Structure 1
Amino acid sequence: MQTFHLHLYIWSEEGADHEDIELYLRSFGAFFRIRYNRALLGNSSLYSSFLNSLRILRGDNEKECAEEVERLKKDFEPLMTELAPRLPVSTDYLYDFLYPQWFVLNAAAAPDNMTLQPQWEKKIWRGDIDFPGGYIIPCKRQSLLDVLESVGRYSSRQVRLLPSPSEGKLDPYLRGPGKVSVGDTTCYFKAWQPGRGKSGATYHELRAYQMIAN
């Protein structure tokens, strides 16, 4: 049975030039981006419900936010179940985590202007986006790779995801890698994250490690 794990949700702040809510969910073999956008809801009765969702997410009541996100997600579960790969799929390696099928889904008003009609916009691949595996360094910023010269390199097909007791029972493929293994060596996994300056926290940690080692 497929599981749809909420990875992230974002919303437009008050006063922004657009009004939308986006949910990002991972299942075994697929990643989904769900978009609620005013333009697709038009002047339907669903628009007032959308505004109420925005109000809740902009607030500071965590319990209300969690319940509202669950409600927004639930309408899309039948479509996600239809689109997700049939089980079993390979989920043991870092390659599987980094390169799932990606689906962009939109919330739209049905012809009656009263019913929500989830729509499948398109399918895209990991190479087209900067999510969810971490930062992709453009060729023109190849200099950022210099710090990686002293680090061992492995194919993502060689790196096995490991369960971690501290992360609970959720499969590491759904929650994201904590520990990984390459052959007989166990390591902690850290994504190459974007950020200010060079490439964010991971870059600066590697630089500090090199300075200590030298």
Structure 2
Amino acid sequence: EYLQSLIDRFGPTILSSDASVNPNSTSVRIKNVIWSTRFRTHSAIADRFFTRLGGDELEDAAVAPGVPFTTSRHGGIILLIGDAAHIHSPAGGQGMNLGIRDAVFLGEAISKHINASASQPSTADTDNVLREFAEVRHERALEVIAFTKTLLAVAGTQDKKVSWMLPISATTVRDWMMWLGGKFGFMQARMAWAMSGLGRR
């Protein structure tokens, strides 16, 4: 009954069990299910991609030779990237590409952080490099999540009439629009650019 209800709601009307909806005026029903599984999609993102563990309180002690006196020692750095920082549906294969881009730009950020730490003893100043990296990656992750939700919405268009004035199904309109868009080179290039992730480095 559950699978049948899904087909009736989201499948093509020619497979509907409701004879009044089916264009062939017949009821098509599932007789036997050999194997099935549920697939669900979720989207989530960490509030912050960068933070530091709590440090030890010190009494005017030097953190290291050559470093000015301070009243606290900063804790270790925590950076979240890839699936640890964000998850979303696999639509368009965006997850792996986003994780790879996170790692590539993390390498650059760590290099800048190390160089800044060598010339600027102040932890607050050098952390700005990592904080900026985390903010940019957070924005990119939100963009990818929105993009995958759009892809799912288009792919999951329900097979129902657009309106009583336009007696054709929404999926037919979607398919025709995609077919028509694919005829234009600039649309093909734009979609390829969006799917590649190059526009959201």
Asked if TM exceeds 0.5, the reply is no
By percentage of residues, which structure has more strand? 1
TM interval, short-chain normalised: under 0.3
Larger radius of gyration: 2
By percentage of residues, which structure has more helix? 2
Structure 1 length as normaliser, TM-score? 0.22
